[in-house]
Amino acid sequence: MKAKDIWVNVPVKDLDRSIAFFTALGFTFNPQFTDKNATCMIVGENIYVMLLVEPFFQSFLSKPVADAHQATEALLCIGLRSRAEVDAMVTAALAAGGKEPRAAQDHGWMYSRSFEDLDGHVWEPMYSDLSLLPGA
């Protein structure tokens, strides 16, 4: 682990099913941090998402685990290199069983879409071109 690494922990109901879902989106996993309770999804050079089965996730908390199908606990935004990559990721998510909760957002300088994974967590792939930002 390096300084400034980002580790996001997300509860999942079925680890194998979640791994298959995110593999379909092009993500890979670190086997060193994978067992029956968890896996480490590699998002970027120093960004990781730990997918933890709910009972294991609950062991770190004093509050109940939120049902992401009923409430949104976070928006997990992922910056991509192009609008086409944004569209491709959402298309892959939908083909793998995800849902698209809202229409694409196009602000000229920023383009984003969103999808819910199998457990209802909201992911927002986005692309931005800061040279098009008003006032830039």
The verdict on residue 13 lying in a domain is yes
In the block, tokens 């879409």 appear at 113
User: Is 110 domain-assigned?
Assistant: yes
The pTM score is 0.90
Number of domains the chain contains: 1
Per-residue confidence (pLDDT) for residue 91, from 0 to 100: 98
Supply the CATH number for residue 80's domain: 3.10.180.10
Decide if 1 is inside a domain.
no
All residue ranges of the chain with pLDDT < 50 are none
Residue 128 lies inside a defined structural domain of this protein? yes
Residue 72 lies in a domain: yes
User: Which run of H or E residues covers position 75?
Assistant: strand 75-79
Residue 123, domain member (yes or no):
yes
Q: Which domain holds residue 66?
A: 6-132
In single-letter form, the type of residue at position 52 comes to: L
b vs e for 91-126, b when ≥16 Cβ sit within 10 Å of the residue's Cβ?
Answer: ebbeebebeeeeeeeeeeeebbbbbbbbbbbbbbbb
Tell me, what's the pLDDT at 72? 87
pLDDT of amino acid 1: 60
Structure tokens at 21: 């879902």
